[in-house]
Amino acid sequence: MTTPTDRYPLDAPSPYPAAEIARAWERERPGTPTDSIEIVTPLWRLAKLFADDRRRLLTELGIDPATLDLLSVLRRSGPPYELSTRELTRRTLVTAGAISQRVGRAEQAGLVVRRTEGNGSRAVFVTLTEAGHELVERTVDQVLTRESELVASLAPGDRALLAGRLQKLLDDVQQKLAPPADQPE
Q: Identify the pLDDT of residue 5.
A: 57
What is the distance between the alpha carbons of residues 68 and 81, in angstroms, rounded to a whole number? 14
Per-residue pLDDT tens over the stretch 76-93: 999 999 999 999 999 998
Q: Identify the pLDDT of residue 117.
A: 81
**Confidence class of residue 6 from pLDDT cuts 50, 70 and 90?**
low
Mean pLDDT over 7-27 rounds to: 73
Phi, psi angles (nearest 5°) of residue 131: -65, -40
- What's the chain's average pLDDT? 90
Per-residue pLDDT tens over the stretch 38-49: 999 999 999 999
Q: Identify the pLDDT of residue 99.
A: 95
Q: Is the dihedral of CA 109, 103, 55, 151 positive or negative?
A: negative
**Confidence class of residue 111 from pLDDT cuts 50, 70 and 90?**
very high
C-alpha distances out from residue 182 to 76, 175, 178, 185, Å: 32, 15, 12, 9
Q: Whole-model pTM?
A: 0.78
Per-residue pLDDT tens over the stretch 138-176: 999 999 999 999 999 999 999 999 999 999 999 999 999
What is the distance between the alpha carbons of residues 134 and 15, in angstroms, rounded to a whole number? 39
Q: Identify the pLDDT of residue 183.
A: 47
User: 115 CB contacts (<8 Å, ≥6 apart)?
Assistant: 124, 125, 127
Q: Is-contact 146 57, C-beta < 8 A?
A: yes
Q: Is the pLDDT of residue 13 over 60?
A: no
Q: Identify the pLDDT of residue 1.
A: 43
Strand partners, 124: 116
